[in-house]
Each structure stands twice: as structure tokens, then as C-alpha cells.
Structure 1
Amino acid sequence: TMYLTGQGTRLFEKALLEQGLTWKKFFVQAKRFKGTFSRLDIAINDNWSLLDMDEIIEATQQNRFWSKSRSFAIHGNNQDGWTANFGKSPFVIRIYDKQKEQEQKGLETSIKNRVELELHVDRAEQVISEWFENDNLVEYSVSILYTYLWFVDEPIDDEELKGTHVRERYIDTLKPMPAWSLLTSLGQSMKFVREPKEQSVDSILSWIMKYVVPSLEVLKKTGHWHEVIEAMDKANLSPEQEKLVKANLVNAITNTKANLEHGNLNFDKQQRKYVEETAEFEKKANLPF
């Protein structure tokens, strides 16, 4: 079982890249070993502020949207960022302020807003199968978004939503929300991108402190700490990890030397002074060595 968060995905992409694998090749290999996909999240990033989350929330509250599922939920606020969910598992469309979400975590991002397709079990398998067969993940994802959710600049009557041909009337006769219409049309030209992230000592430390330390404390208090230390001593580092350790050591030495020189300290000068003072002491003490 493998579960990847957003940050985990970026790090895993780096591992795939080192093995000459794309996401598609990885999924194909997983299928060969009878792998199944219980969840798949597809993110459509709005880097240009096409969407205004206040406008999306207002349109939702005023019933100015069409969706195959009338289930929706709104979370957040203007200061911390809005999130709007449409539908329920196995398929949810989520729209939220990505930039404010990252700011709450103390992180930075160039993404303004994000539209996510959260697909579970059969829906996830369906999208992956389409990807395998037609190699059109982006186009297919945007077509799903277009088919399941649409915003307009006019309210729609609840009774009309119960009709059998509601969408045709809704799309054809009501004025669309310009931003949503533009996003879905531009989506056809978007590309599936990878953003592999280099692992760093700082990122490892941050992850350990946040997710691992509590578990280590349990092992320590239950008498298993020595096993952890022994396992660390016997651990075999990968070539990439060895490079990381070496690079960090070189960087630490360089920074330390720079700091010492900046403080007018010089190792060679101090060593010469030590040798001279030692020789002078030995001479005065008349020691036999």
C-alpha cells in the first residue's frame, strides 16, 4: 500500500526520474503486478488568478451552478481561504485557494487557485484506463470537469434542475460565468507536468520532526531505543543518500570556514601559533622530547 501526499508526490517523482520512469510507466508496471488504485487526485492549477474564489462561493450560495450531484459544501473564509466541494465519494470536485492554503502552512507557491478531481476506486480506475488507451489524461480530465460542473451568471430554478434535459437548456440559454468558461476552454491546452523535488537534509529533518519523532518517543519509553540505534548503525544508504550526506558535509565545512574567516580567525595562523608556543614551552622546561 502506498499513500502519497502532495509533498510526497514531488519527492516520488524524483525517484521515478532517476529510474527513467514516467507516472504512466509506473502505473503500467503497477497494473502488471495486479496493483489497484483506490484513489486518484488530479489537480488543475490556476496560476493566473482566472478564478475568483469569492465569486465561486457567491455563485454556489446563490444556486448559480449546475452539477450532476446537488451535494455541495463550503468551508473556510475570505481571510484563510475558501474551499468548495461538489459531490460525494466516489467522485468529488474541489475548488480552493491554494495560495492561502499554503500560507497557512508557512509555505509559498505560485499557484493561485486549484481545481481538484478526487476519484475513488472504480472512478480512479476508469480515468487511468482511459489514460492507458488514449494517452489524453489532460483532455479527458477537463472533459469530466465540463460534464459534471458548470457555473453561470444567472440563478436556476430548483424545479428545472429535476428535468431530463436540464444541462442542454442550462448551457445553451443561460449566461456562463466567464472565468469558469475560460478555465475549461483553456484546460484543453494544458499539459500534464511533473515537478520532481530534490530531497534535502532540511526536508528530511522537517519530516522526521513532524511525523516520526512521536513514534520514536514511544519506542524510547517502551525500551526499544537501542534497537533503533543499532538499526541506524547498520543502515545502508543509497548512492543518492550518500551524495546528500557528502554535499551537506562539504557545505557545512565551507560555511564554517567562511564564518571563521569573517571573524578574522584563521586555522593555519592559529596552528602556527600553537606550534611556536609549544616549542617555546618545551625549550624553557628543558623537556627531553
Structure 2
Amino acid sequence: MRFEALLREKRLGYGISQRKLALSSGYSREYINKIEHGKERPSEKAIEKLLITLEQLNPNKELELIFDYVRLRFDTHDVKHVIEDILKIKMKYMIYEDYAFYGYIAKYEFSHIQVMISPEEDKKGTLIELKGQGCREFESLLLAQGRSWFDFFMQCEKEKVFYKRIDLAINDKAEILSIPYLAEKCKRKELKSKFRSFQALGSGKLTSEDEEQFVGTTLYIGSLKSDIYFCFYEKNIEQMIKKGIPIEEAEVKNRYEIRLRNDRAYYAIQDLLIYRNSEQTVFNIISSYITFLEVKKTKKKSKWKMDDMWAQFIGENRERIKLTTDPKPVELNQTFAWLRRQIAPTLKVLLLIDRENNTNKVNEMLNDTNLSKKHEKLLEQHTTLMKELMIHED
């Protein structure tokens, strides 16, 4: 297909006007119109720029904002209140463990949703921790409860709550930014920033005797010990390394995380609750701390203009970013992965031995095995209907 036909087909298929493409690409509407009608032969650079811009404007590949980590401390030792009235999960379905983290002595957990407890004389109270998978599983519960993240945090605001850590993650499905490119700009000090440090890890690919091994770039901007820093990384390469998903098939190309602790986390949540405008909250935070620049002849950074790629990321010519959810059912993925890696080979050998010797030792062993209370709770968690797990409002 000739480029002019491809350009027109993609533009119309995405519902993008010539004017919008012109604003985002930097080329005039008249120039784009001439290309589509075969009256102008674009350069290789123009072809590349127009195709990249189209993909960035693709409505199916917009930026989205998710909660990727939530850690909240409540000034109460009433763990049942936290579980049933705030998380709205029935206490009887939680698994108790006599160990925890961050100085807490024990925890209740529902898959990746964890509630940690401290002694009555300890001021730490009760802690909720939701990591990435925990956030996705909690979104399934919120969906079934008819609640949203906003409703959940409004419920938390009724308590004496302390925001220990909140991670806001932007999923980039169009690869608006090049993280290796941003890492190079950091090294060359081509940015305006309130931060004094950065770390760029990885990049490129390694070639072994058997195959190529890709290594993605991770860029940390700010100190990892501070109450705010950014982590940008190539999510598609991470998914390929962890799950074997081909790079070109990964839905999310890059992820940009804003990691907030204590007061920084508190003020971000307040802003979200007051304005209900994820676009405003997130880009106010980012723009307050970093701006990538395009080098000019003058040495004064104040005279340098904003980098074009960065302007596309934070500017007005792309789709608005929304707070979205990606609910995932409560799963045993980690357990199955461990079984597949550690147990399955040995179990298969034993079953083959049983078959060759005409014995039934594996099934006899399973039949003789007694489940602990923890295993019985685990069975309940993964076989009980969602509506039975939840506390419902009167």
C-alpha cells in the first residue's frame, strides 16, 4: 500500500482529523492534505514522524492511570473494623499468619490483600498493604461492591488514616516516550529538575551463544530514599523477560510510576478526591519536578525550550489521561508457578513410575494427606462466590 493511502486509512480509522494530526506532528494541515492526495512526496523523516504521531493518537492506545501500590496505616487495633468496614471483606474468609513486616507482628490476608496488626501497646495500629496484584484483586472486589477507588479513599478519610505509600502508574500503550532517550538526556543534564540525582539501569541487548537476551532500561529520577521519586521503565521488555510475551504483542509499552510517601502521598490523594481530575493531579506532580529540554546555542537553560517528545507527553494534543481499573480475579498464579517449577517434574516422574509398576502410591499419598486450617481457608477463598465474601451495606 502506498504511503498516502496508508496515512489516510490509518487517520480515518482512528477518527483523527487532518488538523489534529497537524497540531501533534508539527506539519501543516495543507502539507498532510497534499500527501494524502499524492501531490507531495514526504521525506523518510516525515513518514516516520507522521506514523509515530498517528500511533500516539490511536484512541485504542491512550495513556491510562492506575494505582499500583497502596499502603495505609490506621490508628486503631480493631482489625475486624478495618477488614469488614473499610475493605468490606468478611473476616471469616481471611487467613491468619503469625508473622508480618515493617515491625508488625502478624497479618490477615486474602490472596495479595494484606492487613497487618501490632500489639495493643504499640502505636503502629493496623496496616493495609496492596501491591500491584493486590491492587488489581481489590479492584475486583470494589467492582462487585459497586464502589470505586474514590469511594474507598473517602471511607478511609472517615478514619484516622496515615498515607504511608501510594504509587500512581501511567501505562503508555503508544510508546510516547523513549526511556533510553530520556536517560541520555539526564546524563547530559538536559532537563530542569528539583531532584539532585538519577539512576539509569539496563538498556540494549545481550547476545549469548544460544540467543539474544534483551535488557530494558529503567530510569529512576530522584532519590529512592525520598518521599517522592519517579521510576520509568520499559514494561514490554519486562513482560517479555518475566512472561515470555513478545515485545510487539505487549499491550503496555512503557510504565511511568510516581512513588509517593507520607505527606506527598496524602496531598496527592487529597487532590484526587477534591478535583476528581487524574490528568491535573498527575501532570501537576510531574511538571513540578521535571521538564526535559531541547539544547540551544545559549548556555542558559532558561532560554531552552521544552523537548518535543516531552511536550507531546505532557501537552494538550493527546487524549486525556483517566483513572482506570484493571480488575483481576483472585488467583493462585504464584502457587501454580512454584508447583510447575519445583513440584511438577518430580510428580510426573512418580506418576510414570506408578503407571509402569501398576501401583497407585501418588493417589494413596494424596488421599492420606490432611489439610491444615490455613489450607481449608485457602480453599474457601478460591471457591466462594464473590458476593458471599463481601460485607454489604444495609
Do residues 193 (structure 1) and 324 (structure 2) align? yes
**CA gap 1:233/1:135 in 2 versus in 1, 3 angstroms:** closer
2:293 counterpart (152, 174, 179): 152
User: Share of identical aligned residues, percent?
Assistant: 27
- Aligned residue pairs: how many? 217
2:173 counterpart (47, 50, 65): 47
1:37–1:121 Cα contact (<8 Å) kept: yes
Partner of 1:115, secondary structure, is strand
- TM-score under structure 1 length normalisation: 0.66
Partner of 1:105, secondary structure, is helix
Superposed, 1:165-176 pairs within 5 Å as 170=302, 173-176=303-306
Runs of 4 or more above 4 Å deviation: 155-158, 207-210, 233-236
The superposition leaves residues 144-191 of structure 1 with CA deviations (integer Å, 9 ceiling, x where unpaired) of 111211111217999x6xxxxxxxx63xx3132211110111577111
Q: Which runs of 5+ in 1 are unaligned?
A: 161-168, 214-225, 245-289
Superposed, 1:239-278 pairs within 5 Å as 241-242=383-384
Per-residue deviation at 1:15?
A: 1.1
1:114 counterpart (242, 255, 259): 255
Q: Distance in 2 between matches of 1:156 and 1:207?
A: 55
Partner of 2:163, secondary structure, is coil
1:91 counterpart (215, 228, 240): 228
State the match for 2:284 in structure 1: 143
Per-residue deviation at 1:74?
A: 1.4
1:65–1:149 Cα contact (<8 Å) kept: yes
Q: Distance in 2 between matches of 1:157 and 1:94?
A: 30
Structure with the largest fraction of strand = 2
1:104 counterpart (233, 241, 244): 241
Q: Which runs of 5+ in 2 are unaligned?
A: 1-126, 206-214, 344-368, 387-394
Partner of 1:152, secondary structure, is strand
Q: Distance in 2 between matches of 1:157 and 1:90?
A: 34
Partner of 1:183, secondary structure, is helix
The root-mean-square deviation of aligned C-alpha atoms, in Å, is 3.0
Structure with the largest fraction of helix = 1
**CA gap 1:76/1:20 in 2 versus in 1, 3 angstroms:** same
Superposed, 1:163-242 pairs within 5 Å as 170=302, 173-186=303-316, 189-200=320-331, 203=333, 205-206=335-336, 229-233=372-376, 237=380, 241-242=383-384
State the match for 2:153 in structure 1: 27
Q: Distance in 1 between matches of 2:339 and 2:160?
A: 35
2:278–2:322 Cα contact (<8 Å) kept: no
Tell me which amino acid in the other structure corresponds to 2:270: S
The superposition leaves residues 7-36 of structure 1 with CA deviations (integer Å, 9 ceiling, x where unpaired) of 221111101111111011111112222222
Q: Distance in 2 between matches of 1:156 and 1:58?
A: 19
- TM-score under structure 2 length normalisation: 0.49
Tell me which amino acid in the other structure corresponds to 1:113: N
The superposition leaves residues 111-143 of structure 1 with CA deviations (integer Å, 9 ceiling, x where unpaired) of 111211111000000111112222223311111
1:46–1:111 Cα contact (<8 Å) kept: yes
Structure showing greater radius of gyration is 1
Per-residue deviation at 1:91?
A: 0.7
Tell me which amino acid in the other structure corresponds to 1:59: K
State the match for 1:71 in structure 2: 197
Per-residue deviation at 1:197?
A: 1.1
